Amino acid sequence: MRTPLPPSANANAANDVAGEPSHAQWAEIVQQLGAEIAGPLSSALERIHKLVSTGQIDRQSLRALRESVSQAREAGMVGQQLARLASGRLHLSREKMHLTQVLRSVLAQRSRETQARGIQVRQVLKPIEVMTDGSLLFALLNALMDWALASTHSSIDLRLDLTPWPAKARLVCRFAHRSLDLLDDPRAAETPATLNSLAWRLVEQTAITLGVLPLREDEAGITVLTLEFPHIVGDEANGLAATERALDAPSEGESSQDYPPSSNSKPLAGSHVLVIAQRRELRSQLQAAMQHMGLIIDVVGSMEEAAQFCSEGLPHGIVFEARLRGPEFDRLYAEAMREVQDFSFVEVLDEAHKTQLSTATPDGLARISRQHLNDALPSVLLFELSKGL
């Protein structure tokens, strides 16, 4: 199986990055994307050829085939997010965000996944507010967890504090990138491929787009990534107001009408939604209504499949067909709410029904009629998926 091409720079390449990445850096990323998609698909194709020739496949080979396809799919989704960052058409908003609360929300969202992998996430987080783009901050923290969970051979330590003057918010992520019993191995000096995977590229490029400096050190089997957020709330010395004006002002040849802030920045991009619908035509309608929102969408046909899907990690929200409600849904709802207090459920009804947000219903479920999906579902999801931030 082909392995991803390593970056031409060293492991601390992010430390030398200033401003927008060059064309050569994006060319490397595209090359790496091709390798990370082609490798798993080549492996899957080999197994399919074997299946065709023998007419049978054992459980282990079937599991490996599913994993290969899943790896290629994940690489493709990361590629979509990288393409969004590379488009140059993002206009970032600047809003006050409680960095600590957003991070805790992401960790709560990923708690089932970390527990299933047997990975402990240790936190020492000071309460800090920053001025930044909320949707991209959420995407950065999720990308950080994706990369760390795929790379760690230990617990993950997260520390959030302030640097000395000039004060900046500093998020430090630390983990062992190889097993401790292999530290004396001569190959221990080599950087594992997972550290410089597309998942890392997404962390790096999202941080750079946000104006957050990523500093990474890999030494003696330990990786330490530091993300520095320059604009803390109350930090007037950094000239935040001038930065805001520069970011919000249209560049030469553009008008402000060309880029409406909310729709153009796709505030939910990178969020993960699970669709539960038994009927194929409804699944297609739901996907069509959400296709321009930048969401990562998975689809299952029953509550049993949804429970199995969520056992490996909760999505950020669930859109489900009302006719599938029953005891299995009640169990899924209870488990999700136990883990994430503000978890989002949107119920889709066949009959005429007024659109309701979760804050307007006694059971905390958002509701929407099928006839209003194209017009109202994006707005409902924008509210529901943002309420926990």
The pLDDT tens digits for 40-87 are: 778 778 778 777 778 777 778 778 878 778 777 777 777 777 777 777
The pLDDT tens digits for 173-214 are: 999 988 766 555 555 556 677 788 888 989 998 998 888 989
**Beta bridge pairs of residue 215:** 226
- In this prediction, what percent of the chain has a pLDDT beyond 90? 27
Whether 264 contacts 133, CB under 8 Å: no
- For the chain, what is the radius of gyration of the CA atoms? 22
Residues 6+ apart with CB under 8 A from 248: 91, 94
What's the CA gap between 150 and 142, in Å, rounded?
Answer: 12
Please choose, from the candidates 343, 388, 384, 385, the residue with its C-alpha nearest in 3D space to the C-alpha of residue 367.
384
C-alpha distances (whole Å) from 268 to each of 262, 265, 362 are: 10, 9, 26
Whether 271 contacts 317, CB under 8 Å: yes
What's the CA gap between 73 and 197, in Å, rounded?
Answer: 14
What's the CA gap between 174 and 214, in Å, rounded?
Answer: 13
Band (pLDDT 50/70/90 cuts) for residue 283 is very high
Residues 6+ apart with CB under 8 A from 345: 317, 318, 319, 320, 333, 336, 358, 364, 365, 366
**Beta bridge pairs of residue 192:** none
> And the tokens for 36?
């990370």
The residue-averaged pLDDT of 213-223 equals 87
Whether 270 contacts 142, CB under 8 Å: yes
The residue-averaged pLDDT of 17-46 equals 70
Stated pTM of the model:
0.56
- How does the average pLDDT of the chain come out, rounded? 78
Query: What three-state secondary structure class fits 173?
Result: strand
The residue-averaged pLDDT of 364-369 equals 91
Top-confidence residue, 291 or 280: 280
Dihedral in degrees, nearest 10, Cα atoms 18, 22, 27, 30: 50
